[in-house]
Amino acid sequence: MFIVLGRFQPFHKGHEHLVTAALEKGSTVIAIGSSEAEMSMNNPWDVNEREAMIRAWLDGRDAKIVHIPDINDPPNWVEHATKYHGEGTLVTSDESTKQLYEDSGFDVDWVDLSNRESFEGWRVRATLKMLSTVYETEAQKQVMSVSIPQQVVDWLVGNDALYRLYSMSRDVEHAG
C-alpha cells in the first residue's frame, strides 16, 4: 500500500506528481489531512470538496481516499494518521513529513519534485485569490492550468469554488 498525505488546498500539479508516482507503484491511499479544519484562507475548501477535486482528477482510476483530522501534535501524528491510512509506504516530496514517518519506522519513497516551490499550496491559493476577482472564465482557466491539473481547474470553475477566496479576504487588511 502506498500512501500520499496532504491537505490538498487545492489539489495541484505537485500533488498530481506524487499521486501518479504512487499509483504507478501499486495500491494507493490518498490521505486528506486537516479534515475538520474550519474554512479560512489557508483552508478554503472543506474535506468533501477536496475529495471531489481528487476524484475529478482520478477520473475513475482506483485509489482509496481517507480523511484525517488534525491533532496538532507532531510526535504523535504518525500513530494517529496510521489509524486512518493504514500501514504501507509513504510517498512524499516533503522533507519534514519524510523525517516524521521514517522516525516512526515507516518506509518512505522519496519523489523529487522539480520546481517544488511553485507548487506550494499557499502560492497556488494566492494565485487563486487574485483570480477570484476575474470574471473571464477562460482567463481563469488559462492561469490556473499552470499549477493545477485540468480536471481540477474544471471542477473549481464548474463549482464556482473561487469566489469564496475573494469574500474571505474582503475584511483582510491589504498592503499598498
Residues 58/29, Cβ–Cβ less than 8 Å? no
C-alpha cell of 164?
469564496
Encode pLDDT of 91-145 as tens digits: 999 999 999 999 999 999 999 876 666 667 777 888 888 888 888 889 888 988 8
**Per-residue pLDDT, 118:** 62
Angstrom distance (rounded) from CA 101 to CA 127: 31
Angstrom distance (rounded) from CA 151 to CA 109: 26
**pLDDT-based confidence at 176, cuts 50/70/90?**
very low
CA-CA-CA-CA torsion sign (20, 7, 32, 85) = positive
Alpha-carbon distances of 136 from 124, 128, 131, 148, 156, rounded to whole Å: 19, 13, 9, 18, 14
pLDDT value at 14 more than 70: yes
Alpha-carbon distances of 153 from 1, 6, 28, rounded to whole Å: 28, 18, 23
Q: Work out the average pLDDT over 40-54.
A: 93
Q: Work out the average pLDDT over 18-25.
A: 96
pLDDT value at 17 more than 50: yes
Encode pLDDT of 65-88 as tens digits: 999 999 989 889 999 999 999 999
pLDDT value at 173 more than 60: no
Q: Work out the average pLDDT over 39-63.
A: 94
Angstrom distance (rounded) from CA 51 to CA 48: 5
**Per-residue pLDDT, 45:** 93
Q: Work out the average pLDDT over 29-49.
A: 93
pLDDT value at 174 more than 50: no
**Per-residue pLDDT, 113:** 72
pLDDT value at 11 more than 50: yes
Q: Work out the average pLDDT over 20-32.
A: 97
